[in-house]
Structure 1
Amino acid sequence: MTRRRAARRVTATDVAHEAGVSQATVSYVLNDTPGQAIPEVTRQRVRAAVERLGYAPHAAARALRTGRSDVVLFVLPDWPIGPAVAAVVEGLTHGLEQRDLTLLIRRASGGRPLADLWRSLTPAAVVSLEGVADGDRHALDEHAIPLVSVPLQARVNADDGVLTVSHPAIGALQLQHLAATGHRRTGYAAPADPRVAAFRDLRLDGVRTAALDLGLADPSVREVDLTAESARSAVQAWLAESPPVTAVCAYNDDVAFAVLAGLRALGLSAPGDLSVIGVDDVPLAALAAPPLTTVRQDAGALVEHIVSAVLKAVVGEGPPPRPRSDAISLVVRESA
């Protein structure tokens, strides 16, 4: 049995030989080194050789040369990967690729120190979606690794310069829509997954504050997991209250879908028996029965701001754009 020989990696020396130039010229062209008077025809010859040979710069060598890698470490908390998080990941990947930066995702779990995730990489920057411990922040500073922190709190932090979505505003917008359509007694369908408890509490606080401001009773909170049976029990309980709940704010669209399934299991429907409003505006929201009224989060605003903050920290580009004011919006359909 013969063993296949692994294909040899194409090197900058190979490119130089193919193009008939020095290896230094190849380096100057590929890195667009300023102050080098290299004729355009030579630059084109080097780029053509790179294309023919399929040359890709070695990441480790590039890190030694520049003092950092081209990897941006995205530390993802132990959250379920729902549509909102997936949209942020996709947007960051695309946005950073446009500037020759690669997004590497690592999940933080079990109280593992942040340093365990970045020390072996020497990343160009670290992006965190949670607060960072002082020890980790100081260690990153000592190694000159920029940190772009997106705190959970609904605020724009002047030190971090990153826009965060106001989760209380999401809950308030849900309740305000239901009140504007005539509902006086509301419920809140809370998720069963403990990993999203912080987001749940912020959104529920927004619902409660809006209800108080409008002179409405505190919403009736019931946990709904992603099963029709769980939602069926919650719907029965809401309708049995005195006075009965007539509309429900769901934590997100998935929980709202469960509530709609619970209504169907009882032979009921929205909005006639119970109005339902979700959060996220996932693609299936428009295809639900009935189409789901929901709150859309503008992931693009967050992505744009994070990418700009990373570029400012890594390559010294201008300050991040001012946060947009339309980070959330109401999408009215038939369920509420």
Structure 2
Amino acid sequence: MTSTDVARETGLSRATVSFVLNDTPNQSIPQATRQRVLEAAARLGYTPYAPARTLRSGRSDLIVCELPDWPQSPTMAEFVDRAGEVLAEAGYTLVTHVHTDRPGGLGRLCAALAPAAVFGMRPFPPQDVEAMRRARVGVILPPPQAGSGDDLGASVWTTGIGRMQAEHLIAKGHTRIACALPDDPRVSDLSAGRAAGAAQACADAGLPAPARSPVPLDIDGAAGVVSAWRASPDAPTAVCAYNDEVALALLAGMRRLGLSAPGDLAVIGADDIPAARFAAPPLTTIALDSGDLGAHLARALLRTLDGEEQDLTLAPHGVHVVERESA
């Protein structure tokens, strides 16, 4: 259905219908006529033709969120869902684009979609920023000067979580702590950041730096890591797992060896995925309100679109320890 169909249905001129449907300012159209057009448009199922609107305004109502090439966990899904809800309330549609190593992919996407804005968790490479500028993307968040390769949410996603994990274990009396890292190269930077946060907490408490070991997501491999830890002269008594999946692998490997948490080895995860509460024993973990973080970034983006100064301060509430039985 087009505006011509609406004009035919109402018996009004195409110009009048166009003024109403586009909410054109400075037009003295009676309210009754406006209502007549809007009711006919709804009855016919009329929707604006997006390419035409983009040509008129120079940009679409789309906003692109570039996601890191991380496994798409429930935490990331919640982040995207809440960001999308906030943007939808303001009349925008969120489109996600997963980062790849292929150069120019984001620039080509922006050239095709003409989005109103693009945002992500990391500063974009200069070549991508230039491509987005050529595509007339008005708002890029974070801006190129946001940092030197650091994640926009580093204090929340990485070091903050690792520090909180270690601090919880230290408060429980543990003095020899290990970090269980994933063996997935896509999250190597993220996992290194969490391990660094745990190391900071240990250093502040006067404890040695945590041992770091990759833990495969299979029972035999996890059991092998636990065995190696226990055979070392400074065997750890507690482990900061990169996330709940790694923590669950450790618990399964421990059961294979006849060990249990927290008596033989305390384990704390991160993300508080639904399976964490059903682990044996139920998993102590760090909960991050990623939905709050997504909403926070979306609101910051909307403020920037309204011409306000960019505010990249990330201080989402709800990052806390969920204490269960494994640590």
Shared fold by TM > 0.5? Answer: yes
Aligned residue pairs, count: 321
Q: Give the aligned residue type for 2:136.
A: A
Query: Do the aligned partners of 1:96 and 1:307 also contact (CA within 8 Å) in 2?
Result: yes
Q: Distance in 1 between matches of 2:251 and 2:226?
A: 9
Tell me the residue number matched to 2:271: 280
Q: Distance in 2 between matches of 1:82 and 1:11?
A: 41
Compared CA separation, residues 240 and 164, structure 1 to 2 (3 A):
closer
Give unpaired runs (5+ residues) of structure 2.
none
Q: Distance in 2 between matches of 1:322 and 1:122?
A: 27
Shift of 1:224: 0.7
Tell me the residue number matched to 2:141: 148
Compared CA separation, residues 332 and 136, structure 1 to 2 (3 A):
same
Q: Give the aligned residue type for 2:140.
A: L
Q: Distance in 1 between matches of 2:6 and 2:201?
A: 64
1:170 aligns with 2:167: no
Query: Do the aligned partners of 1:238 and 1:244 also contact (CA within 8 Å) in 2?
Result: yes
Q: Distance in 2 between matches of 1:103 and 1:238?
A: 45
Tell me the residue number matched to 2:322: 331
Q: Tell me the SS of whatever aligns to 2:156.
A: coil
Q: Tell me the SS of whatever aligns to 1:106.
A: strand
Q: Distance in 2 between matches of 1:204 and 1:164?
A: 13
1:95 aligns with 2:86: yes
Give runs of aligned pairs for residues 209-228 of structure 1, distance below 5 A.
209-228=200-219
Tell me the residue number matched to 1:295: 286
Q: Distance in 1 between matches of 2:10 and 2:325?
A: 64
Query: Do the aligned partners of 2:178 and 2:239 also contact (CA within 8 Å) in 1?
Result: yes
1:251 aligns with 2:242: yes
One of 40, 50, 54 as aligned partner of 2:41: 50
Q: Distance in 1 between matches of 2:260 and 2:12?
A: 73
Shift of 1:45: 2.1
Compared CA separation, residues 48 and 211, structure 1 to 2 (3 A):
same
Q: Give the aligned residue type for 2:45.
A: G
Query: Do the aligned partners of 1:253 and 1:279 also contact (CA within 8 Å) in 2?
Result: yes
Q: Deviations over 1:92-144 (max 9, x none)?
A: 22222222211122222123223222112211111233221223323433543
Shift of 1:298: 2.1
Q: Give the aligned residue type for 1:53.
A: L
Q: Give the aligned residue type for 2:73.
A: G
Q: Deviations over 1:133-159 (max 9, x none)?
A: 223323433543121128763668xxx
Structure 1: 4+ residue segments shifted above 6 A: none
Query: Do the aligned partners of 1:155 and 1:166 also contact (CA within 8 Å) in 2?
Result: no
Query: Do the aligned partners of 1:301 and 1:323 also contact (CA within 8 Å) in 2?
Result: no
Task: Select the structure that is richer in helix.
Answer: 2
Compared CA separation, residues 32 and 333, structure 1 to 2 (3 A):
farther
Q: Distance in 2 between matches of 1:176 and 1:321?
A: 27
Shift of 1:164: 6.3
Shift of 1:197: 0.5
Q: Distance in 2 between matches of 1:84 and 1:153?
A: 20
Compared CA separation, residues 40 and 285, structure 1 to 2 (3 A):
farther
1:138 aligns with 2:135: no
Percent sequence identity is 44
Shift of 1:174: 0.3
Compared CA separation, residues 169 and 322, structure 1 to 2 (3 A):
closer
Q: Distance in 2 between matches of 1:288 and 1:37?
A: 66
Q: Distance in 1 between matches of 2:158 and 2:108?
A: 30
Compared CA separation, residues 33 and 220, structure 1 to 2 (3 A):
same
1:261 aligns with 2:252: yes
Q: Give the aligned residue type for 1:174.
A: Q
Tell me the residue number matched to 1:7: none
Query: Do the aligned partners of 2:121 and 2:152 also contact (CA within 8 Å) in 1?
Result: no
Compared CA separation, residues 286 and 43, structure 1 to 2 (3 A):
farther
Q: Distance in 2 between matches of 1:319 and 1:220?
A: 39
Query: Do the aligned partners of 1:305 and 1:320 also contact (CA within 8 Å) in 2?
Result: no
State which drifts further: 73-82 or 31-40.
31-40
1:19 aligns with 2:10: yes
Shift of 1:318: 8.0
Give runs of aligned pairs for residues 60-209 of structure 1, distance below 5 A.
60-113=51-104, 114-145=106-137, 146-149=139-142, 153=150, 165=156, 167-209=158-200
Q: Distance in 2 between matches of 1:26 and 1:264?
A: 71
Query: Do the aligned partners of 2:83 and 2:291 also contact (CA within 8 Å) in 1?
Result: no
Q: Give the aligned residue type for 1:116.
A: R
Q: Tell me the SS of whatever aligns to 2:133.
A: helix
Q: Give the aligned residue type for 2:86.
A: G
Tell me the residue number matched to 2:228: 237
Q: Which has the higher contact order (CA 8 A, sep 6+)?
A: 2
Q: Give the aligned residue type for 1:212.
A: A
Q: Give the aligned residue type for 1:329.
A: H
State which drifts further: 106-115 or 172-181.
106-115
